[in-house]
Amino acid sequence: MNIFDRLMTLDRRWVFLFVALVCVITYAIPFTIKLNKSPEVKAVYNFIDTLKPNDVIFVAVDYDPSSLAELHPMFYAIVEQAFRKHLKVIFSALSQNGPAMVDQVIKAVADSVKQDGTYNGVFYKGRQIEDGVDYTFLGYKPYPALIILAMGQDFRIPFPTDYYGKPLDSLPMMRNIRNYDQVKCVVELSSGSSSDMWITYGQSRYNFPLALGLTGVMSADYYPYLNSGQVFGIMGGLLGAAQYEALADNPGEALDGMRIQVYAHLVIIIFIIMGNIGFILARRKARKG
């Protein structure tokens, strides 16, 4: 049996072994991979990165825990970036199962911002994140379309108090903020129809810059909005999340996941190529012989 035949008729257990080895190694050893960054993700990162301290951004978290794997990493990366840069953030959760999850993420990021950190070569000193000063979490209310419309008039209409029951007027950071006009941009993280509502009832009526974070399957449907300028950036699925983490120099679950994905895909591709080389050479030999 020559080498070509061997390449062609490799026992599949070798394939299994290599896939297992690569997955386990890339899973267990944390190293970062370089990813190509697509312009639509870069746009989101650059927008937030060029904001000045004390600027306010609005993060709408409208996904269910079921699509947590894809959207959570975006949420973490953006919130951490905002807090590090001393931006102020308003959160809302228009999906029924969202609020507790949002609260948990805010607390987790606040904990991590307490430590010093260096991102993209810039040193940030750790600091205490305070509710009402650095962020406001509005909470959940039903009828997303109406809520989005009403917030265009004043955040206090749908949310007289925040998630924790404090009146918005009593929060220091909300003092100068009435509606979307005082917000630099809205980042909508969505796993369903809420992104359409943000476009129709929010962006097209009140004209604020809108960026979308979507699940992988959804993202292709929203590219037309990118072209029409209604949306300035899109992060799609785990890949979009990983690109954002890479841009923010804040590796998390998405980059971890992509590291495994990239190498697992690579192993499979290498096996396909090996099989084909063996096949083509064997066929050539057969023709000659």
Partner 1 sequence: MNNSRIWSIVIFAAAVLIFGLSWIIIGSQAGHNLTDAFLVTVAAFLTLSILSFLYKDNPYYKFAEHLFVGVSAAYWMSVGFWSTFVGNLLPRISPSLCTYFGVPYKGFDIFFFIPLILGVFLLMRLSSKMGWLSRWSLAFIVGTTAGLNLIRYLRSDFISQVSNTFVPLVTDWRGIGPFFSDFSLSITGQFAMSLSNWVIFVGVFCGLIYFFFSKEHKGAFGYASRMGIWVLMITFGASFGYTVMGRVSLLVGRLTFLFHDWLGLVK
Partner 2 sequence: MKFKIMILGCLLLALALPALAQDSVKTVEASAIPAISPPAPATNVTAMDSPNDNGHSLTLRWTLSADDGAGQKTVLGYKFLRSFFPDSGFVLREGMAPSGSSEYVDMGGRKPDDRDFMPNDTDYYYIVRAITADSNVYSDSPVIGPVKAVGQLYNVGRTLVLVFVLCFAAITIFFIRRARKGAKLFVRRLAGIEAVDEAIGRATEMGKPILYVLGLGTAADIATIASFTILGRVAKKVAEYQTGLIVPCYDAIVMTVAQETVRTAYLDAGRPDAYNDDMVYYVTSNQFAYVAAVNGTMLRQLPATNIYMGTFYAESLLLAETGALAGSVQISGTDQVAQIPFFVVACDYTLIGEELYAASAYLSREPILLGSLKAQDYGKAAIIVISILGIIASQFRWNWFLELFKAGN
Partner 3 sequence: MKRQVPLMLVFTLALVMIVQYFVPNDFSLDTNEFLLKWIIIIGIFAMALGIWSLIRVSYEKIRRRVPGWQYPIATLLGLAAMIVFGFDYGRHFYTQEGLENYMFIHLFQYIIIPIQATMFSLLAFYIASAAYRAFRARSVLATVLLLAALIVMLRFNPYLGTFGVYLEKTTSWLLNVPNLAAKRAIIIGLGLGAVATALKVMLGIERAYLGRD
Binding site for partner 2 (CB under 8 A): 12, 143, 145-146, 149-150, 153-154, 156-157, 168-169, 175-176, 178, 201
Q: Please report how close the Cβ of residue 14 comes to partner 2 at its closest, in angstroms.
A: 13
Burial class (CB in 10 A: 0-12, 13-18, 19+), 23: middle
Q: Quick one: CA dihedral 144, 146, 151, 152, positive or negative?
A: positive
Which residues share a beta bridge with 62? 190
Give the one entry of partner 1, partner 3, partner 2, none that residue 97 binds, where binding means its C-beta sits below a cut-off of 5 to 8 angstroms depending on kind. none
Q: What CA–CA distance (Å, rounded) separates 174 from 170? A: 8
In a 3-state reduction of DSSP, which class is residue 85? coil
Q: Which of 266, 284, 287, 288 binds partner 3 (CB under 8 A)?
A: 266
**CB within 8 Å of 93: residues ≥ 6 apart:** 60, 61, 62, 99, 101, 102, 137, 138, 139, 140, 163
CB of 188 to partner 2, least distance (A): 17
From the list 48-56, 156-164, 194-202, 263-271, the region that binds partner 3 by CB under 8 A is 263-271
Per CB under 8 A, which region of 51-59, 90-98, 138-146, 258-266 contacts partner 1? 258-266
Distance CA(225)–CA(39), nearest Å, equals 15
**Pick from 51, 47, 52, 55: nearest CA to 233:** 47
| Residue ranges binding partner 1 (CB under 8 A) | 13, 16, 20, 23-24, 27-28, 39, 69, 220, 223-224, 226-227, 238, 257, 260-261, 264-265, 268
| Residue ranges binding partner 3 (CB under 8 A) | 10, 12, 15-16, 19-20, 23, 33-36, 38, 220, 223, 239, 258, 261-262, 264-269, 271-272, 274-276, 279-280
